Structure 1
Amino acid sequence: MINTYALTGFVSQLSGSISPDRLLVNELMSKHTTFAVGGPADVLVLPGSVKEMSLAVRAARSLELPVVVLGGGSNVLVRDGGIRGIVIQLNLLKKVLSCHNTKILASAGYMLKDVCQFAQTRHLTGIEFACGIPGTLGGAVFMNAGAYGGEMSHVVSRVRTVSSTGSVQTYSSPHMGFGYRQSRFQKSQEFVVEVELSLRVGDADEIQAAMEELMTRRRSKQPLEMHSAGSTFKRPPGYFAGTLIDQTGLKGLSCGDAQVSTKHAGFVVNTGHASAKDILQVIQEVQRRVEREHGVRLEPEVRIIGED
C-alpha cells in the first residue's frame, strides 16, 4: 500500500526543480506507451537532465516509494490498474549527442532511429541494425535489443547510470552483463542515462542504403502501422517465435481489440481500444497453444508491469 502522504511529499520536494508539465499525478500510462494501454501512474516524472533524474530517485528513496524507469514506452505492457509509486520516463532526457573519432556519446532518451541517423551523417557504421527498433537508446541497452544479426552489446562500450540511491556510476562493456535480451541493469536497480557507442568508419551512402533496406524489410513484414510493443516473445532456442505461432494457426487470434498480427505472428497488436487484460489473455493463449502443439514454452520479451 502506497503512502499518499509520501506521494504528496515527493511532488512537493520536486516542484521547485521540475516544471509541473513534467511532474504528472495520476497520469494514464496509455498516453506514454507504444501499446497505448495502461492505467495511471501515481506520479510520472519526465526529467530533462541527469541531475533532475537523480533528484527524483533520491526523493523517492527518502520517502520509501518504489520507482519504475521507462525509456520511450516500447517493449512494455502496463496493466490496467496502473503503477503504484513513481514512474520516471527518460524520453525527454536529450542533452548529449556528440561524436569523437569513431565514438558517439548520447543521452539515453534519444530515439534509436535518431542515433542511427546521426551516426550515418558522421560516416560511422555498425549500428544500422537498430534503425528500425522502436524506443530509446537507454531502453535498447537495458534490454540488449537486437535485430538482423546485430545487438547493442556489439556496439556499446560505456554506460553511465543513476543507481537506486541516486548516485551516478560508469561501466565499461565487460561489466554490463549482456546476454540475449539481458543486461545487468535489469537486476541491479540502476538506470541507464548516457551511452557511449564504439563504431567503425564507413561510407555514408552505403550506410544510408543499408538502413533504408532494413526499414523496407520491416515495413513489409511487421505491423508498424499498429500499436504494439515490438516483438512480443523472446526467440526460443532452436526456433523462431513467430514461425511457431504461425504454424499453430494463431494469426488473427483475438480478445477484444488485442490480436496476434495477421502480418507477423510474432507481434501482438492493439487494433483499436484494447485493454492490457485483453493483450495478456492473447499472450497467455498463444503460450498455452504453442506449448501444447510444439512442446515449447514461449517467454514474453515485453516487460509486464503494474497492477490489474
Structure 2
Amino acid sequence: MEALLKELQEKEVGKVLPNEPLANHTTMKIGGPADVLVEPKSLEKLQETMETINKYKVKWTAIGRGSNLLVSDLGIEGVVIKLGNGMDHLELEGEEVHVGGGYSLIKLVTIISKKGLTGLEFAGGIPGSVGGAVYMNAGAHGSDMSKVLKKAHILFEDGKMEWLTADELNFSYRTSILQKERPGICLEAVLNVEQGNREEVVAQLQKNKDYRRDTQPFSYPCAGSIFRNPLPDYAGQLIEKAGLKGHKIGGAKVSDMHANFIVNDDGAKAQDVLDLIEYIKETILEKYNIQLETEVEIIGRK
C-alpha cells in the first residue's frame, strides 16, 4: 500500500489521504478509515488513479457525497475514490444537461429551476451527488432519474469506461444495473429537461423542498431512507405502526419525525445502526409477514 500511496502522490492525481476517517465523508457521520482516500481533480486524473490501482491489484470503492451510505466501523480496505471537486462540471446545451458525477444534486436542481427548465423538480432536497442518484435511481414525488437520464458515463470494476443509455442501465425502483449485474460508478451524466414556466418550476421545486424539510429529519446526521418501500405498503408507515418510532440501540435512533430514517442521535457506531436495522426487520416480519430490504448501501470491512 505504501508504494501505491507514494505513486498516487507523485502523479498529483488530487487529494491523497492515508487512513482517512470516512465519518468525515458520510452524511451519517459514521465510518472507520479508508486505507487511502483519493479525490481526483479531473477525469484524466481519475483514469491515472485507476491505472495505478490496477497496477498494484488493490481493491477500490467509489463514493460521492456520502448520503445513502453506511460505512463499517472497521473502515474500507484499499482505495476509496471520492467523486467531488474536479468531477463536478456542469454544461447546459439547450434542453440537455451535461453534469459531472460529483456534482451536488440539490445544487443542480436549484440552478436548472432558476432557468425555467423542468424535469428535475422531484429531486428538490434530495442530498447526494448526481453519480449517486444515477447509481440508485434516486426519486421522489412520482418521478426518478430514469425519467430524465439520456446516458451516463460509467467506470466499471476492471477500470474500463463506457457510455450507457437509460435503457442499458436497466432502471427499476431505486435500482440500476450498476449495483449488482455490472458493478460500476457514474462519472458523468447527460439529462433531458424541457423549457417550462420559470415561476411554476421554482414554485414546485420549493414545494418539494418544503415537504422534505417538514417531514424528514435532515437536521440530524442520517443517510436518507433506510428501507425500500415494499409497495403497495410504505416502510415508514409499517415501522411507525409497529411502535418503533424513537426506538434506540446505542447512539442510533429511529427518527421521531419519519420512521424510515435512522439518525445518529448520540455518537452512533455503524454496528448500532446495523443492530437497529435487524431489529426493525425482525419486528416487521413477525408482525406483518413483510420482509424489508435496505435501501441504504452498507459497505466496508466486516
TM range (shorter): over 0.9
1:94 CA drift (Å): 3.7
2:30 and 2:73 in contact (8 A); partners too: yes
> Secondary structure at the residue paired with 1:277?
helix
CA distance in 1, matches of 2:61, 2:116: 36
CA distance in 2, matches of 1:119, 1:215: 15
1:168 CA drift (Å): 2.6
Give the counterpart letter for 1:207 in structure 2. Answer: V
**Which of 154, 158, 170 lines up with 1:177 in the alignment?**
170
Give the counterpart letter for 2:47 in structure 1. Answer: S
Structure 1: runs of 5+ lacking an equivalent: 1-6
Residue 145 of structure 1 is matched in structure 2 by: 138
1:280-299 residue pairs with structure 2 within 5 A? 280-299=274-293
1:42 and 1:86 in contact (8 A); partners too: yes
- Please provide the CA RMSD for this pair: 1.3
For 1:216-261, what per-residue CA distance to the aligned partner results, in whole angstroms no more than 9, with x for missing partners? 1111111010000000100113210000000000000101110000
1:95 CA drift (Å): 4.6
Q: % of aligned pairs identical?
A: 36
Residue 224 of structure 2 is matched in structure 1 by: 230
Give the counterpart letter for 1:190 in structure 2. Answer: G
CA distance in 1, matches of 2:88, 2:247: 43
Structure 1 segments of 4+ aligned residues over 3 angstroms from their partners: none
CA distance in 2, matches of 1:123, 1:254: 44
Residue 263 of structure 2 is matched in structure 1 by: 269
**Which of 238, 245, 251 lines up with 2:245 in the alignment?**
251
Aligned pair in 2 of structure 1 residues 130, 95: CA closer, same or farther (>3 Å)?
A: closer
Aligned residues: 301
**Which of 49, 62, 65 lines up with 1:72 in the alignment?**
65
Give the counterpart letter for 2:251 in structure 1. Answer: D
> Secondary structure at the residue paired with 1:88?
strand
1:18 CA drift (Å): 2.7
Tell me if 1:167 matches 2:160.
yes
Structure 2: runs of 5+ lacking an equivalent: none
Tell me if 1:92 matches 2:85.
yes
**Which of 103, 117, 139 lines up with 1:124 in the alignment?**
117
2:113 and 2:205 in contact (8 A); partners too: no
1:61 and 1:164 in contact (8 A); partners too: no
1:57 and 1:164 in contact (8 A); partners too: no
Residue 62 of structure 1 is matched in structure 2 by: 55
CA distance in 2, matches of 1:95, 1:136: 9
